[in-house]
Chain A
Amino acid sequence: MTNETTAAAKKDSPQPEGGKKFSRLKEVCKKSYVGWLFTLPMTLGLLIFTFYPMIQSLVYAFAEYDGVEHFELIGLGNFIRMFTVDRREVFKTLGNTFLYSIISVPLTLVLSYMLALLVNKKIAGVGVFRVLYYLPVVIPSVVSGLLWKGIYDPTYGLGNSILNAFGLPSSQFFEAEESALASYIFMNVFGVGGSMILWLSALKNVPPELYEAATIDGANGAVKLFCVTIPLSTSMIFYNLITGIIGSLQTFNTYVIAANEGRGPGDSLYFFAVKIYNTAFSGMRFEYGYASALAWVLFIIVGVLTIFIFRTSKWVYYGEES
């Protein structure tokens, strides 16, 4: 607002006297300094801990840098490396990450939505169950990883006992290439309570008149679900989709459960974020340059996906404009 007025003022007087320009500036400062002071911590924080490191990391991405002394600009070398020498691992980790994201995000969305619909009833004591369903979400992720490692232990874990009890064959879970990722996805299903809470608030926001009107028009439960409830929850679906995708593409928790520095058997649990971490901070020498290039690739993927989802979000209903 203030910016616009000053800009307009500048246009109006193409050759302002120095004094007039200065007094304008002074006026802006006088009006703004309180707000500037309040937001100063954030401005500094963004500059020191986000934007400056971002620029640095962009420079690293075009360099070879071990974090100590060897620093050499190598142009596109790091990006070429991804598609040549390191191709197998880059594509394996990207593939794992995408596969996980594509399966896990919709799965969690649908299951948590169903769960929310189930407990969105006016039955005495249903609140207790909501709390119980949310409880697994409060387990710290490290603990949850270790505890599932225990359940999935092929010999001493309960996982195989349960499978066998249902007449299913035993599994190696995290310890075999073909079952590791599926086991990880299944393990994450237990966090559905987190999104359930979000859905419940979205469901609460659906005006009851709409249901009444639908009932009068003779709609049954399924019609109400697909023609009233779901369309009115689209803004929440959108929010969950965005945060789910951004979050899942950066999954790092596999580091706790997967043997061999977060790789898992045959690299089956090796995720892209873990690869970045390993490239930068483990192994014989630190490779900040290559790791930064990988991190920027992740950033670009996340950015492009987010923009794509926003562009195609005509289906989102944000309530009546007031």
Chain B
Amino acid sequence: MNIRTFISFFLMGLILVAVQIFLLKNLALFGVALCFLYLLIILSLPVSIGHIPLILLSFGIGLFIDMFYDTMGIHAASATFIGFIRPYWLKVISPTGGYDDSNEPTLKEMGMGWYFTYAVPMIFFFSLIFFSIDQWGTGGFFGVLNKSFFSSTLTFLLAILVQLLFFKKRRGI
């Protein structure tokens, strides 16, 4: 990771977090579909990033979002989990020939089919953990599933849209 990709990542993260806090925080489609677009930061970090920095970063981002949501620790707990399972999941679904060191797991680099198998389960597990903690003790597993399903659908669709519109495909080396 050179300094240029680092800076562009940093800016992207900043913008996504700002969008999450200012716009998506108040959005709840039909009362069930929330959008966790900031997961895109964790999802599109380069493949070569170390496991420990990844977990720490996920925790930090989650905590920062929590401060604005007043849901102390819930985003942090779920985001940390995503950061933790990401390398294992990447290994499971690695394409034939493995990854390049400079690979980023984004839509434009890896293609739609791969990206779907990569992102959807991660986002769904995030939502599942998030809503399970949030609804803890209020009962209603169906409500949790319902919210998770629609939230992860919305998040995934928005993630695809953002990547199609704003992510540039890197030119060949």
Q: Do A and B bind each other?
A: no
